[in-house]
A and B are shown apart, each in its own frame.
Chain A
């Protein structure tokens, strides 16, 4: 894992001091809320329905146990004993007091964490593959590149007042576990003639106008990367639309001028930027990479004893192969049936921290599906890990099943919401509570957003649900056929919306239709792609 040196620490500490000063000026009335709002937003502090909400960055979703324990401590001391893990691999606290916020940030800084650029029209926290460093299919660990980008983007003087927020994801596997092409910039690290570089995709996103990022460059060399990304951003900063907030994301620029024209402009800008010497030497990437060296794997390759049936089910569903023999990747589902997707109590956060320290070389990951990963668990320890998880109500064996729902906070917390998301997730999960039925349905990614901003990735759900406001009453639209993985696609709306119970019934009808129509080992989305919308529509509305 990356460790701060004195430079990194000084920058984060200075940020805490600066924010403390900004808060003090606000509390003393030297600045108005209008002036303060962009400042607090640059540091992840929103004013939501019930209180201030703070979003803490978890760079590329990687944490150690000390940091995880700090998240629990903050939940206990400054919030109401829980936190919400988000689709952007961050954590949000819903009940933060402005007057305590600087103290909170100071505590975070003591474990090399911060809330820098977790909101505002700047380059946001860089997201990545939660299996980085553990996946068998990766060409390299993407996190050193993400860290390089984190440093470059932190307080970037030219790109802190962009037309709109800017999200970057970095992966290094053909399997996309980070919804890479639904980001403003998606990077896929690849190897060409033995050399590592990045495939660059620009202009993806969700929100009101979902778009899949087109490839802008098939290969950018490591030592050109920052210049190239700088060029991508400069073209956007100069020409992205600023007249309409809904058209301000880079996806609209790329769409309006076309990928070819955007590519041409970036190439021209890059030719210039490359002369400025903004790229660090490769030694910097090497320095960072050293922190991500593989841990000292030494466990013998033993198969776990499957005689406990509950354990065996969890093993099959939540544990994934590791690149190192003798090890496995453990997924901890934060989706108990009837629970709140992505929420974890302080006590649960502590349990996960302890398990990471004891069994996973002190590492944890947050996934964009709002779950937690222990990336490097020896197979001989799996049963012990499972028992500890079970005792903390964290052994839900539903990874990638219909009850492993992504849901944004919705109208229970969010001031932009049209409808509640969480109760819908709870009702659907409860409807499909029967574990055998869920497993029979198989992989089904269900994603719920409480408004068109699409924080819950509904466009990318095999089944997506969008909350809308129908004359002051909550209403839900259903979409089918989206995907955020390497088979990326945008879901299509089935037809008229539903009320709260109606949407649960509609989901069930769609799922039953799939069970009737599927061939071989087709997943829900495969069947949908083969047969199209009509049979589902008929089942739902017929």
Chain B
């Protein structure tokens, strides 16, 4: 599957395209199939996202898993600071990245 991701213009937070908006949770991301480019241009033009790009991902029961480790780090947060990730209460969350 293909995901559309980028950062919020003002806050810089990592965001994922959910089909009708943006979410900071990769679990909410949807497959954009071949349609990613046109969403990307429209959303970037409207400044609802900054520096967007399309990535490969794998569908899993827990939700989409970005194919590249860099995007998994983006999705969760720094592996060396679990307290600053999106899942601070789950010390094993970092395993998902590696």
Contact = CB atoms under 8 A, between A and B. Distances in A.
Given A420-B79, A423-B80, A51 B69 contact: no
Interface in B45-91: 47, 50-51, 67-70, 73-74, 77-81, 84
B14 interface: yes
B10 A97 contact: yes
Contacts of B10: 27, 97-99
A486 interface: no
A36 to B, nearest CB: 9
Given A27-B10, A33-B50, A420-B79, A49 B69 contact: no
A257 B41 CA distance: 45
B18 to A, nearest CB: 19
A415 B70 contact: yes
A47 B13 contact: no
A50 B73 CA distance: 8
A226 interface: no
B79 to A, nearest CB: 6
B92 to A, nearest CB: 15
Contact of A411 (B13, B73, B81): B73
B11 interface: yes
Chain A binding surface, main DSSP class: mixed
B39 interface: no
A49 B74 contact: yes
Interface string A385-423: 000000000000000000000000001110101001011
Interface residues of A, number: 28
B78 A412 contact: yes
B70 A411 contact: yes
B12 interface: yes
B70 A412 contact: no
A95 B14 CA distance: 11
B64 to A, nearest CB: 17
A474 B73 CA distance: 13
Given A50-B77, A412-B73, A29 B47 contact: yes
B79 A50 contact: no
Interface in A326-362: 340
A54 to B, nearest CB: 10
A454 interface: no
B50 A412 contact: no
A344 to B, nearest CB: 13
Interface string A22-53: 00001101000100000000000001011110
Q: Which of A49, A99, A473 has the most CB atoms of chain B within a 10 A radius of its CB?
A: A49
Nearest to A37: B51
A370 interface: no
Contacts of A99: 10-11
A264 to B, nearest CB: 44
Contact of B80 (A26, A47, A49, A426): A426
A99 B12 CA distance: 9
Interface in A442-501: 472-474
A156 interface: no
B15 to A, nearest CB: 11
B9 interface: yes
A53 to B, nearest CB: 9
Nearest to A80: B84
A97 B7 CA distance: 11
B51 A98 contact: no
A28 to B, nearest CB: 9
Given A33-B50, A33-B51, A412-B73, A51 B80 contact: no
A96 interface: yes
Going nearest first, the 5 A-B pairs with the smallest beta carbon separation are A51-B12, A412-B78, A52-B12, A99-B10, A422-B80
24 contacts: A29-B47, A33-B50, A49-B78, A50-B14, A50-B77, A51-B11, A52-B12, A80-B84, A95-B12, A95-B84, A97-B12, A98-B10, A98-B11, A98-B12, A340-B80, A411-B69, A411-B73, A412-B81, A413-B78, A415-B70, A420-B79, A423-B79, A426-B80, A472-B69
Interface of A: 26-27, 29, 33, 47, 49-52, 80, 95-99, 340, 411-413, 415, 417, 420, 422-423, 426, 472-474
Given A50-B74, A411-B69, 20 more contacts: A27-B10, A27-B47, A33-B44, A33-B50, A47-B12, A47-B50, A49-B73, A49-B78, A50-B12, A50-B77, A51-B12, A80-B84, A95-B84, A97-B12, A99-B10, A99-B11, A411-B70, A412-B78, A423-B79, A426-B80
